[in-house]
């Protein structure tokens, strides 16, 4: 089983792309002053925001942590900067950990795209969803500072993307998701307790009702199949009723299984709008999908 992974998220902010990017490219020391998560950022070697410069981040992630990062790439034209961890607490769990931040201008405000690419030391290490939630929180706190006095508004739209590596083929995985979701409760009974269909399995417009456990609680959600692309092993569903809509105005999930030389990669994309600013991004749900995918993978491999 591969220990490589990738987690991405989009955070919509009020501030301009240039202002937000400037913080990470040349004013990193200001982040510790205006953010509850990072207590300080120190320049260790080289010029701040220059290729090859080294920074020390002091931050809180359940406990006080330290990370020493080198700037691996910087592209001012694209408002992009990449950091690679070379020392610190993260390397207790990950063999490699790379963070890329890109800020894209929008008609109103901008979107901060965070990407973590990593290799876990072993399979039991969780994916860094809680760390990505910290990145989203930090982005919003910095946005509040940057847009202070400019009519700051909560930005509620978001997107999270996750890659899950599998041993099973893309076609085998897609077959279960597209036309055999009613098999999932038998494969992963601890997570999914029921899947019932209105309409025909594997058809656009059909409706699936899921009964599942997440975060220690039982949930029910009803989804409509919005798109299916068998050639690309892709399916998109949108939640139309259920527990998720108690916190999200809209919630859509796209699942695509991509063939690789060995096994495949399942790419999950969640697009959503939170009802209130205090509602967290659904990183714990994406970790749930990761764990469910591992259950399905084990079943498919043992089946063969």
Q: What percent of the chain has pLDDT over 70?
A: 92
4-155 and 161-303 share one CATH topology? yes
- 251: closest CA among 230, 278, 232, 279? 279
Alpha-carbon gap, residue 164 to 269, rounded angstroms = 11
The topology (CATH level 3) of 161-303 is Alpha-D-Glucose-1,6-Bisphosphate; Chain A, domain 4 (3.30.530)
User: For residue 31, what pLDDT is reported?
Assistant: 72
Place 153 in a pLDDT band, splitting at 50, 70 and 90.
Answer: confident
Question: How far is residue 88 from each of residues 48, 73, 78, 94, 105, measured CA to CA in Å?
Answer: 19, 20, 29, 10, 33
Helix H, strand E, coil C: the string for 238-261 is: EEEEEHHHHCEEEEEEEEEEEECC
* 36 Cβ contact partners less than 8 Å away, ≥ 6 residues apart: 60, 137, 141
pLDDT tens-digit map of 275-285: 999 999 999 99
E strand or H helix that includes residue 179: helix 170-179
Say if residues 198 and 206 touch (Cβ distance below 8 Å): yes
* pLDDT value of position 246: 97
Task: Evaluate if residue 109 carries a pLDDT over 80.
Answer: yes
Q: What is the pLDDT of residue 292?
A: 97
Which of 39, 38, 44 shows the shortest CA–CA distance to 56?
Answer: 44
Q: Which two tokens stand for residue 198?
A: 């209105």
Give the angle subtended at the CA of 281 by the CAs of 275 and 285, to the nearest 5°.
Answer: 110
Q: 4-155 has which CATH code?
A: 3.30.530.20
The pLDDT score that the predictor gives to residue 39 is 58
36 burial class (0-12, 13-18, 19+ CB within 10 angstroms)? exposed
How many C-beta atoms lie closer than 10 Å to residue 4's C-beta?
13
Ranges 109-113, 132-136, 264-268, 300-304: which has the least confidence: 300-304
Greatest Cα-to-Cα distance within the chain, rounded to the nearest angstrom: 62
Alpha-helix residue ranges (DSSP H) falling in 10-157: 17-26, 29-34, 129-146
Domain spans of the chain, in order of start: 4-155, 161-303
State the Cα–Cα distance between residues 169 and 262, nearest whole angstrom. 8
Of residues 304 and 104, more confidently modeled: 104
Q: How many residues does the chain have?
A: 304
List of residues 6+ apart from 133 with CB closer than 8 A: 280, 281, 283
- Token output for 14: 């009020």
CA distance 195 to 200: 13
**pLDDT 10s digits, 11-65:** 999 999 999 999 888 777 667 666 666 656 666 676 766 899 998 988 888 899 9
């Amino acid at each position: 089983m591969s220990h490589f992974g990738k987690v991405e998220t989009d955070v919509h902010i009020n501030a301009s792309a240039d202002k937000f990017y400037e913080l990470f490219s040349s004013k990193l020391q200001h982040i510790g002053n205006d953010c509850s998560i990072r207590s300080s950022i120190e320049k260790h070697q080289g010029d701040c925001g220059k290729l090859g410069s080294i920074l020390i981040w002091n931050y809180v992630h359940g406990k006080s942590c330290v990370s020493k990062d080198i700037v691996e790439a910087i592209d001012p034209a694209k408002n992009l900067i990449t950091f690679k961890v070379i020392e610190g607490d993260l390397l207790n769990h990950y063999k490699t950990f790379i963070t890329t931040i890109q800020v894209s201008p929008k008609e109103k405000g901008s979107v901060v795209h965070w990407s973590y690419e990593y290799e876990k030391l072993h399979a039991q290490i969780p994916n860094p969803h809680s760390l990505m939630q910290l990145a989203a929180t930090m982005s919003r706190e910095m946005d509040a500072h940057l847009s202070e006095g400019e009519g700051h508004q909560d930005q509620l739209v978001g997107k999270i993307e996750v890659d899950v590596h599998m041993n099973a083929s893309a076609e085998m995985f897609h077959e279960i998701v597209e036309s055999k979701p009613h098999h999932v409760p038998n494969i992963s009974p601890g997570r999914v307790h029921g899947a019932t269909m209105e309409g025909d399995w594997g058809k656009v417009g059909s409706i699936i009702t899921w009964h599942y456990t997440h975060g220690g609680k039982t949930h029910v959600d009803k989804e409509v199949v919005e798109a299916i692309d068998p050639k690309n092993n892709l399916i998109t569903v949108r939640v139309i009723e259920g527990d998720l809509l108690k916190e999200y105005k809209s919630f859509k999930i796209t699942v695509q299984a991509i063939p690789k030389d060995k096994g495949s990669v399942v790419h999950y994309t969640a697009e959503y709008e939170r009802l209130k600013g205090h509602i967290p991004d659904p990183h714990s749900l994406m970790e749930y999908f990761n764990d469910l995918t591992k259950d399905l993978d084990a079943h498919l491999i043992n089946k063969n």
